[in-house]
Structure 1
Amino acid sequence: MRAFLVPRLLLAAATAAGLWIITAGIRDALLQSSSGATQVASLVPELVPTALTVYQSGGGGVAATAVGGVVLGVVFLALAVMLWRRGATVVATWFALVLASALVGLAFDLGAGWSWIVSYGARGLLSSGFGVATAAGALWGLAAGWVPALIARVSDAEPVRGRTPVWLLPVAAVAVVGVIFAGAVTDASRKEAIAAENAAQREVDSASSFGALPDPDAPGVPVPETADGVIPDDPQWCTPEKATVLKGEPDAATGHRGMRIQLLNFSDQPCVIEGYPDIAFGDQNGHLLDVTVEHGGSFMAQDPGPQRIEVPAGGYAVAVLGWDAASPHGALVTNTVWAAQTAGMVRGSWPIELDIVEGSAVVVTAWTVDADPTNPG
């Protein structure tokens, strides 16, 4: 008794596999084309999820397509052998290819969505594009299945004898499971490649940016609007109703930095101020930067010491920040300066990039009358 692995069925299975691979390959080639041909790809069934082919590197997409075609041929061969044994019609064999192609598409859908299933259970399939390859496979089988079906047709003059190879169905089942596994591995490889590419891009961006790139998930606390302090009960005090704090421009010396802070009396009466301005710094994530603020003199300015000064109407007081230069590469840096006349008053802020990094020490001089208010540095 001869088995049913006759040349006609093998040719039909090979034809089905070849047509399937050609169709999937044409779609992928169109999608990767730099011309307007990418629009035509929507007319070709998505036999393999796009994420498993177009967005792969190192031949992963070609491998997924080849595996899918081979498995399709094996599954169709198993179904065709069973149908041939029973003298099936061309239409029945045609729909056997529809079923085989849909099964392979289902396996790819499960493989591509496996990470979603693991993370979110069955509902994760709703976000993974599940079902696209299954439907595309059935559609392709309807459109192309008649060709292998005609090749595998049973002739009236040809006797139907022999037994069905019992190993074909288990092999087909294992092959379908293999597609699921291959799809899951290919999708995991794609995600790893994307993660590595993003990490490399972050390194490039970080090297060309001032400080570390902003991280919306970074831990931290916002900069408080006020610091602990007692505002003197003095009607002449330079309160926000009479005066405002303005920033100057950064200045530099070898290994050292400085920046003036001015207090403008915009009222029509003199006001008084005493002591040191209240200073804080915000990082690129909008959080309070860990900086030690000290009172005194620095390389950039002498400290006159706290003293009560009178700021004339339209006049200025000035204080100077001083710090040592530091490398901002990959660090939390100053992205905003916050300041108030004295501790206890509401701080104002200015966006500015300074190489005051996390852990730095900044020295602040006391307020003194600004002899040269036109000097912003």
Structure 2
Amino acid sequence: MAAFLWAGCALSREYPAFVTDALGAGQDAASPPGPVTVWDWPVPEVYVVPVGSALVLLLGHLLLMRLLSSLPPLSGGARFLVLWTTTAAAGVPPAVLWEFGRARVGEAFPAEAAGGLFLLVAFWGLFWAWVPALAGMRWPHQSSAVPLPGPALLAGLCAALALVVAVSTVSVALGTEEALNRHTARAPAAKAPGTVPVPRPGATPPPEVAPGEHDPDPAWCAPGRGDILVGAPASATGHRLLALRFVNGSEDPCVLDGYPDVAFAGKDGAEIDVEVIRGSSFTDEDPGPATVTVPVGGRALATLNWDAAARSDGAARVLHAAPYAGAPRQASPVELDLADGGEVTVTAWRLDG
């Protein structure tokens, strides 16, 4: 009963986010996907992780109860409290697996992962663990009939527990990574550039042309041949991700080869100091610079990733982007929690879909 209820507890805790995400899909194409939950995990991880974590609780609960069976018989409220506490304690290992497994993939801060762990354990202990404890009150305590586990049984329980934890941990990592990739792909191309803040007098905006030497070939995807559409920022555990899509609006295919160029400005229009790093991130494996031919009406995709931070007045409100360094930049209004001293990782262009 405890194992079944644990699976229900862990899944139901994330159900509101799943419903909100599902109801919002298709209503507002510019709205960002909701936070990554277990419901975003692919097959088989979406089944393996709940079942595996339930088995972790089952084995842990069994081990604890076998050890407690040697205690003197208890009755009434004392027996109920012992059963309730034991069931709640058995939920700690699968909760650690659940929360820290995802946090490790998402590179969340330890305090953030610990906060999620505390909430999950509290939710399990207060609202669910009392049910099997109450059911356990119906069975009499017979300490003489249930001996302490022998070395063989104890070793078997520990081995089974370690195996299930290992399989579940790998599944959590794989499922979370795939779910984050899906969120990146779903980050919508919100709109073409809109109104950007007018720089205040004396402010130094980013250069209109990306620094760098270039000798564009006629086949290149120059800014005049299409637009860069900026998606809505999506949230992951401790991180943010933003999709950039170059849409080929010309009458011929065009070529991209490399990384987009990006720069950021605050609400006053002044450039903010953000270090741009080219390469892989926690959500995307960087394909590396390669020749990408964008068909007529087709799209190329690149993603930006950065650590979540507290919003501030100096955060980015304008994104200046170009399809390659040395090309004219296109300004788009954004609301990001990137500020001076921040870092952002950008992947190379690849075909979208």
TM range (shorter): 0.3 to 0.5
Structure number with larger C-alpha Rg: 1
TM-score by length of 1: 0.41
TM-score by length of 2: 0.43
